[in-house]
Amino acid sequence: MSQIIVSGEKKLEGTVRISGAKNAALPILAATVMIDEPVVIRNVPELRDINTMLSILQKIGKKVTFEHGVVQIEPGEILLGNVPYDLVGKMRASFNLFGPLVMACGWARVGKPGGCNIGQRPVDYHVEGLKRFGLKIVEEHGDVFGEIPAEFDSHVEYELPFKSVGATEQLMTTASLMEDSEIVIKNAAEEPEIVDLQNFLNKAGANVSGAGTDTIRIRGVKKLHGSEYSVIPDRIEAGTYLLAGVITRGNVIVENVIPDHLKALLDTLKKMGAEVTVSDNTVRVEVLNKLKPVKVSAEPYPGFPTDLQPIITAVLSTIEGDSIVEELVFENRFGYVDEMNRMGAHIKVKDRRAHIKGTRKLSGAEISAPDIRAAAALVIAGMAAEGETIVHNAGHIFRGYEKLKEKFNSIGAYLRVYPDEE
Ligand code: UD1
């Protein structure tokens, strides 16, 4: 089990170059199973979750190489429609292969993902939507089995019960090969990663419009073609470095970002009293004055991102006064709060709200990370705390942060990782 040892009372200062977005790359990689020509994807971060997706693609028959952030995928001799649970179990996003594989192979059998540390995370919206599109789906022995129908309806509308990112991605990708059908997805998630997926699909010859709004229209085409595509920068990674700058009362610049994608975070930082400077593709955050407590609500985009919720909570726990952080996406995303409290934070969770009584100083402690973003929150809390913090079970973090130790240490942190994973 990995451990990250964090030296406290560091002030972060400097520039960090942000990697490609994991959550944009994963659904794009899943969509490539529908393309039987060579595909090149650039700006892909070298992360555990990406490697999991690539090894699944290889196991089901694709030829894959991954070097210097460039993934090249070529069709193999056969494509298998089978993704067993031991692979899906490692990463929920592999369920995004289900619809695309049904379209590519005529059928697919994919293990149904289980719950995880931040909530139940069912896939009922994915399955319900695909059924409405005409796919024949049965769930048996823990797997989801799907088959292509003899014919698709010429017009289908499906309204998602909640703005689910994964379901929106799965449905728009699958629909793009439903030849001659027009599909409308309502109450769609609006995240930038969905716009990126639309851009990728359209570059491959699909006809998708509306991503970034709550209504997405897809006109199914007969075939998708090989293409080259570059993934957008990771707004969650960028947000993490900016928040690390704030918790250490430092001065951090993130470069290679799309500042628009960070709007909810930057608005919050301004309300807290941090100095925010935005240019074309960089954002700088500096703390010059005493910071103020705020109320934050984690919601679907364009709201404050749930993936930064644990990290902003860590920051607010170091700002004197009463802050509130509300979580409206996942039912159980406060699993790290007891660990923060071991570091001297005063956080009480009631229903979906964390009530934070800010304290000026946290103290280093031995703690354990329940999930990837919680791990990031605990690590940055350690940078601001007095003394040393040992984050156990920290391996989660390498699912989402490329060259974490190198990037943080280059701007003044001192992290040691055992065993060294980078
Ligand atoms: C994606 C992101 C994740 C982020 C989340 C919300 C990837 C790989 N992961 O996850 O980092 O935290 O969006 O921004 O992109 N739900 C259902 N039934 C479904 C689908 C979802 O009840 O069929 C619920 C979930 O349990 C959750 C909520 O809807 O409470 C939102 O989940 P969703 O947006 O689908 O998250 P993911 O796509 O899994």
- The protein residue with its alpha carbon nearest to ligand 1, atom 11, reads 307
- Residue of 117, 139, 162 to test ligand 1 pocket, by largest number of atoms within 8 Å of CB: 162
SS3 label, residue 411: coil
- Residue 95 Cβ inside 6 Å of ligand 1? The answer reads no
Altogether, the residues listed in the chain come to a count of 422
Give the separation between CA 261 and CA 160, rounded to whole angstroms.
Answer: 23
Region 170-198 average pLDDT: 98
Give the nearest ligand 1 atom to 300 CA. Answer: 14
Rounded to whole angstroms, the Cα distance separating 366 from 388 reads: 9
Q: How many angstroms separate the first and last alpha carbons of the chain? A: 15
Kindly list the domain boundaries of the chain, sorted by start residue. Answer: 3-19+233-418, 22-230
Nearest CA to ligand 1 atom 33: 164
Q: Any binding-site annotation on 132?
A: no
Average pLDDT over residues 364-386: 96
Question: What pLDDT is recorded for position 422?
Answer: 59
* Residue whose CA lies nearest to ligand 1 atom number 27: 330
pLDDT, tens digit (0-9, with 9 covering 90-100), for 387-409:
999 999 998 899 899 999 999 99
**pLDDT tens, 314-357?**
999 999 999 999 999 998 899 999 999 999 999 999 999 999 99
Pairing outcome for strands 39-42 and 228-230:
parallel
CA-proximal residue: ligand 1, atom 25 (nearest): 121
Helix (H) or strand (E) holding 147: strand 143-147
pLDDT per position as a tens digit, 13-48:
999 999 999 999 999 999 999 999 999 999 999 999
Specify the residue with its C-alpha closest to ligand 1, atom 7.
Answer: 23
pLDDT for residue 115: 58
Beta bridge partner(s), residue 157: 184
Mean pLDDT of 245-260: 98
With CA atoms as reference, report the closest residue to 409 among 96, 10, 9, 74: 10
Active site includes 116?
yes
Tell me how far the alpha carbon of residue 94 lies from the centroid of ligand 1, in angstroms.
13
- Please, what is the average pLDDT of the chain? 95
Q: Whose CA is nearest to atom 24 of ligand 1?
A: 121
Task: Tell me the mean pLDDT in the region 149-156.
Answer: 94
Q: Ligand 1 pocket, 119 CB below 6 A?
A: yes
Mean pLDDT is lowest, of 87-101, 123-137, 177-191, for 87-101
Q: Please give the C-alpha separations between residue 123 and each of 14, 22, 132, 218, in angstroms, as whole numbers.
A: 41, 20, 15, 21
Dihedral sign of CA atoms 313, 315, 318, 320 in order: negative
Ligand 1 mean position, distance from CA 67 (Å): 29
- For residue 361, count other CB atoms closer than 10 A to its CB: 12
Atom of ligand 1 nearest to the CA of 122: 18
Q: What is the pLDDT of residues 100-150, one digit of tens each?
A: 999 999 999 998 886 566 666 789 999 999 999 999 999 998 899 999 999
For the CA of 119, the closest atom of ligand 1 is: 26
Q: What percent of the chain has pLDDT over 70?
A: 98
156 pLDDT more than 90? yes
When pLDDT is averaged across residues 271-292 and rounded to a whole number, the result is 97
- The sign one gets for the Cα dihedral 346, 372, 101, 86 is negative
Ligand 1 within 6 A of 126 CB?
Answer: yes
| Best CATH choice for the domain 22-230 from the list 3.20.20.450, 3.40.50.880, 3.65.10.10, 2.60.40.730 | 3.65.10.10
Ligand 1, atom nearest to 331 Cα: 30
Which residue's alpha carbon is nearest to atom 8 within ligand 1?
23
Q: Residues near 147 by Cβ (< 8 Å), separated by ≥ 6?
A: 102, 106, 107, 135, 136, 137
User: Does the annotation list 23 as a binding residue?
Assistant: yes
Instruction: Tell me, in angstroms, the distance from the centre of ligand 1 to residue 419's CA.
Output: 31
Ligand 1 lined by 123 (C-beta under 6 Å): yes
As a CATH number, domain 3-19+233-418 is 3.65.10.10
Ligand 1 closest atom vs CA 191: 14
**121, 130, 144, 397, best to mutate for ligand 1 pocket (most atoms within 8 Å of CB):** 121
Catalytic residue among 70, 116, 258, 324: 116
Whether the upstream peptide bond of residue 233 has omega within 30° of 0, thus cis, is no
What average pLDDT does this structure show over 305-310? Answer: 98
* Average pLDDT rounded to a whole number, residues 195-209: 98
Q: What is the pLDDT of residue 1?
A: 75
Q: What is the spatial distance between Cα 355 and Cα 365, in angstroms, rounded to a whole number? A: 21
- 329 annotated as ligand-binding: yes
Q: Is 143 annotated as a binding residue?
A: no
pLDDT at 275 over 90: yes
Residue 267: per-residue pLDDT: 98
Whether 22-230 and 3-19+233-418 are alike in CATH topology: the answer is yes
